Structure 1
Amino acid sequence: MPLPPKDAARRFYARLEEALRTGDVDVLDDVIAPDAIDHQPDPGMNPGRDGIKDAFAGMHLAFSDVRFGVEDLVAEGDKVACRILTRATHGGPFLGFPPTGREVSYGVLDILRFSAEGQLLERWGLVEEGALRQQLAGA
C-alpha cells in the first residue's frame, strides 16, 4: 500500500532519531533506498544508502540525544519540503570541535523524494552549519 509522502517524511526523521540515539544505523534500511542520492553529500561521503548510514553513524558519536522537530511539511507529488529544527547535546567531536556538553539547535531545510513504498530516493538539503559552528565554538 502506498505511503503518502508526508507520512514517509515523518517516518524518515523518526528513524534518523532512532539511529542517532542508538547508533544502530541499520534501522534506516527500510526508509532509504539502496541507491538513494544525496545531492548535498558531506565531503568524502560514499554514495547511496551506505554513505548516508556512514554519515549518521559519525553523527551518533557527537549527538546521541538528537531530536528533530518537524516545523513544516509541504508535499507536491512524490516530494516533500521539510523545515526541521534540530536539537541535541554536543557530546563528541564534530566538525573539528571537541565535545562541549552544550545544547545546540540549528535548522535544516530538506526536499525529499520518496518511492510509493516510503523509501527515500533523493535529498536536496541545507543545514544551518554557520549557526551550529557558532554554538560549538561558544560564540
Structure 2
Amino acid sequence: MKKLIKLSIALSILVFTSCNNKVEENIKMYTETWDEIINSGNLELINENNFTDDVTLIYSPDNIVGLESFKDYYSNFVTGFSDVEFTMKNVFGQDDNIVKHWHYKGTHTGDFFGIPATGKTVNIEGVTLVKMNAGKIAQEQDFMDNMLFLQQLGIISSPENIGIIDNLYKAFDVGDIPSVLGSLDANVIWNEAEGNAYADGNPYIGPDAVLNGVFARVGGEWDGFKLVDIELHDMSNNQVLATLRYNGTYKKTNKAIDAQVAHLWTLKDGKVIAFQQYVDTKQLNDVTKK
C-alpha cells in the first residue's frame, strides 16, 4: 500500500512538472516570437513553424483566420508605425492557455488600415487571451481601449473637449480670466483673424502673450464686450469649432458691434494648444473709425 501511495505521488509530481515545463515553453516561444515580429518588424515569423495553419484572431464582425490573413492584419502595426516599443508587462499561463498584459507605443508614419500617416504617437495598453496547440499559436483575442487608440490617432476626439471649451467660455463670461488662461497650454499658439487689429502680434505664444496682447487690449478698448449665441461643435483631430457673436461698444467711437465669429480650438491632454479666430473684420474696423 505504501509503495502504491509513493508511486501515485511520484506520478503526480511528474505530471505537474511536465505541465509546468509545457507552460513555460509555450510562454517562452510566444513572447520571443511576438517580440521579434513587432519590435523587429519580422513578419515572416508568422509562418507554419510558429502558428497553426488556421490561426484565428477573434474579431468583430468577422474573425481573421489563416496565416496570410493574420499576417496582413498585423502588418498594419509593423508598417504603419515607427519607433515601435512593444513590451509584455506580464505573461502567465495554464495548460495551453496564455494571458498577456502588453504595452504598445509608436509613431503613426505609414498607412494603417487605410488611414494615412498622421505623425501622432499612440501609447496604449491591453490584454490578449491566447490558445496554444502543440507548441504553436492557434488563437488570439485582443482587449484594448479602441476609443482611446483612435483618439490618440486623431481619428476621433476626446469626449472631454467640448466640456473644457464650454467651461472656458463660461469663465470668460464672468470675467474669470485666470481660469481661461489656466485652460491654455504653456506653449499655446494663438492667432487672431487676419485683418483684425489684434492680429499684429500673431502668433501669440503662451498664456501671458494672449493676456497682454489680446485680453488686456479688449478690456481696455471695449465696453460691455460679450460673447453670445455660443454653439460648440465637436470635430475630429481633437478640435472644437465654436460659432458665436461678439457684442460690445468701442470706447473711442461709442459704436456698437454685433459681429459673426468662429473660433477653432485644438486640444491635447486636456489643454488648448492652438486657437484660430475667424471674424467679420470689416465690421470690427468700421466701428473703430470716427
State the TM-score bracket (shorter-chain normalisation): 0.7 to 0.9
CA contact (8 A) 1:34 1:50 kept: no
Q: Deviations over 1:72-130 (max 9, x none)?
A: 1121111111110001111023356431222211112101112333x201112213211
What is the match of residue 66 of structure 2?
A: 48
What displacement does 1:11 show? 1.7
Q: How does 1:97-136 map to 2 (within 5 A)?
A: 97-117=115-135, 119-136=136-153
1:59 lines up with 2:77 in the alignment = yes
Give the alignment's TM-score, normalised by structure 2.
Answer: 0.41
Let me know the Cα RMSD of the aligned residues: 2.5
Residue of 13, 19, 27 corresponding to 1:6: 27
Q: Which runs of 5+ in 1 are unaligned?
A: none
| TM-superposed deviation, 1:69 | 1.1
Separation of aligned partners in 1, 2:140 and 2:33: 12
CA distance, structure 2, for counterparts of residue 53 and residue 95 of structure 1: 13
Residue 60 and residue 81 in structure 1: after superposition, are their counterparts in 2 closer, same or farther (change >3 A)? same
8 Å CA contact 1:4, 1:116 repeated in 2: no
Matched with 2:55 is 36
Contact 1:15–1:28 at 8 Å: present in 2 too? no
**Identical-pair percentage:** 18
Output the CA distance in 2 between the equivalents of 1:12 and 1:127.
Answer: 21
What are the ranges of 5 or more consecutive residues in structure 2 without an aligned counterpart?
1-20, 155-236, 239-290
Partner of 2:272 in structure 1? none
Q: More strand per residue: 1 or 2? A: 2
Separation of aligned partners in 2, 1:96 and 1:75:
35
How many corresponding residue pairs?
134
For residues 87 and 128 of structure 1, the distance between their equivalents in structure 2, rounded to whole angstroms, comes to: 14
What TM-score, normalized to structure 1? 0.79
Mark the structure with the bigger radius of gyration: 2
Q: Tell me which residue corresponds to 2:229.
A: none
Task: State the alpha-carbon separation in 2 of the partners of residues 45 and 65 from structure 1.
Answer: 29
Do residues 26 (structure 1) and 44 (structure 2) align?
yes
Match of 2:188 in 1: none
User: How far did 1:46 drift?
Assistant: 4.9
Q: Contact conserved, 2:35 with 2:87, CA < 8 A, in 1?
A: no
Task: Indicate conservation of the 8 Å contact 1:73/1:83, yes or no.
Answer: yes
**Structure 2: distance between partners of 1:14 and 1:74:** 16
